[in-house]
């Protein structure tokens, strides 16, 4: 049946009002179901990161994107299973040893006192009290943890299904969105989209490459120094690379604390020597990362002033937690490019901005 011609026409005011109402509704809906929405945001990010891999595999599987997507999921599942079988026992042993030494470390921590003027501040005792409070509250949280496990499983299932669909049909989804743009503006919109794609792909994929690189370098450095739990600390140091500025230095502080309280003591048991050596190692790795690794794997994707980076990190943490920290810098860089493009429109500049 042929559809009749459209008879309803919106005035410019009604068009803008419709856009504002849809935007307000989307914002309110996101506020109400933001936890579920974040699952799908995560699936979009993962699909975006690994989409080129699926495209590459498709060429070797006679053009079948379905088989490429299935093979990718099987390989990822096998890899995660292998890592679980190989690494988890090592981490578990280090965790057991850590728990055995934790009471002694806490007792030493309780004795830390800072003298301010003529007053003594028992900093260690206060930290110990807070740790004990958290440990005592764990049993009361068990029922909520059980519910959280069920909810987490459902979120994981939704994440896997959404990621599978986006990896399989992502190009079609993007094409359908692109076709909503009037034909006159498509060349410019394609250029702007390409620039944004370069910013996001360069930063996100580069940052994810930093995780294994820094984990290996940190583990080897700590192992050579004789620090216990080197593998566990190295993995943590690599994972927190996704948190700009905050992550690397938090990992350094964690490594220093673990090295100071380990038995047998390092470097004759002098805490300041241990802190200086471990801190120097992390500082050296950080400089190597900033001036060698990041320029090579991230490239010129992000150009932000350091003050703007700090502001973006604080805003990202306030808005989206850990995910906000991870996305703060690339999103801010995209916003910076978008503002440059809008400024060009305001001054009627016919030259489109590039990265």
> Could you write out the three-class secondary structure of 246-305?
HHHHHHHHHHHHHHHCCCCCCHHHCHHHHHHHHHHHHHHHHHHHHHHHHHHHCHHHCCCC
Tens-place pLDDT, residues 190-214: 888 888 888 887 777 777 777 888 8
Which one of 22-26, 122-126, 295-299 scores highest in mean pLDDT?
22-26
Cβ-contact 235, 215 below 8 angstroms: yes
Query: How do the domains of the chain map onto residue ranges?
Result: 34-77+102-180, 188-355
Q: Is 351 exposed, middle or buried (0-12, 13-18, 19+ CB in 10 A)?
A: exposed
Give the integer Cα–Cα distance in Å for 172 and 335: 25
The pLDDT value given to residue 141: 47
pLDDT bin (cut points 50, 70, 90) of residue 140 is: very low
- Which one is predicted more confidently, 142 or 343? 343
The pLDDT value given to residue 36: 75
Give the integer Cα–Cα distance in Å for 78 and 42: 21
Give the integer Cα–Cα distance in Å for 122 and 113: 5
Tens-place pLDDT, residues 150-185: 777 777 788 888 888 888 888 888 888 888 888 888
Answer whether residue 189 shows pLDDT above 70.
Answer: yes
Mean of the per-residue pLDDT values for the chain?
75
Tens-place pLDDT, residues 213-227: 888 888 888 888 888
DSSP state of 120: E
Give the integer Cα–Cα distance in Å for 125 and 109: 7
Tens-place pLDDT, residues 32-73: 776 777 778 778 888 888 888 888 888 888 778 888 888 888
**Cβ neighbours, 10 Å, residue 213:** 16
- Among 89-98, 200-209, 306-315, the range scoring the smallest mean pLDDT is 89-98
Give me 128's structure tokens: 């110990």
First to last CA, the chain: 49
Answer whether residue 340 shows pLDDT above 80.
Answer: yes
């Amino acid at each position: 049946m042929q559809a009749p011609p459209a008879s309803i026409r919106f005035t410019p005011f009604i068009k803008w009002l419709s856009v504002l109402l849809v935007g307000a509704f989307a914002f309110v809906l996101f506020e109400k179901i933001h936890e579920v929405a974040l699952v799908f945001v995560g699936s979009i990010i993962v699909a975006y990161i690994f989409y080129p891999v699926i495209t590459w595999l498709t060429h070797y599987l006679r053009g079948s994107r379905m088989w490429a997507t299935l093979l990718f999921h099987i390989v990822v599942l096998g890899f995660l299973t292998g890592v679980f079988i190989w690494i988890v026992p090592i981490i578990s042993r280090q965790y057991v040893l850590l728990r055995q030494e934790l009471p002694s470390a806490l007792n030493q921590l309780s004795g830390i006192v800072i003298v301010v003027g003529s007053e003594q501040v028992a900093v260690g005792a206060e930290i110990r009290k807070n740790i004990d409070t958290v440990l005592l509250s764990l049993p009361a949280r068990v029922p909520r943890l059980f519910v959280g496990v069920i909810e987490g499983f459902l979120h994981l299932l939704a994440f896997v299904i959404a990621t599978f669909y986006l990896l399989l049909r992502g190009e079609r989804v993007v094409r359908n969105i692109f076709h909503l743009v009037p034909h006159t503006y498509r060349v410019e919109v394609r250029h702007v989209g390409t620039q944004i794609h370069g910013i996001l792909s360069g930063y996100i994929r580069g940052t994810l490459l930093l995780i294994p690189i820094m984990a290996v370098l940190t583990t080897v450095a700590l192992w050579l120094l004789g620090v216990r739990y080197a593998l566990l600390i190295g993995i943590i140091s690599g994972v927190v690379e996704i948190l700009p500025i905050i992550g690397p230095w938090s990992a350094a502080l964690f490594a220093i604390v673990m090295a100071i309280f380990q038995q047998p003591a390092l470097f004759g048991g002098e805490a300041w020597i241990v802190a200086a050596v471990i801190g120097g190692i992390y500082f050296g790795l950080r400089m190597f990362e900033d001036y060698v690794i990041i320029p090579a794997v991230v490239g010129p994707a992000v150009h932000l002033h350091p003050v703007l980076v700090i502001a973006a990190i604080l805003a990202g943490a306030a808005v989206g937690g850990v995910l906000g920290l991870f996305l703060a810098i690339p999103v801010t860089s995209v916003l910076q490019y978008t503002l440059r493009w809008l400024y060009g429109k305001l001054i009627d500049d016919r030259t489109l901005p590039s990265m």
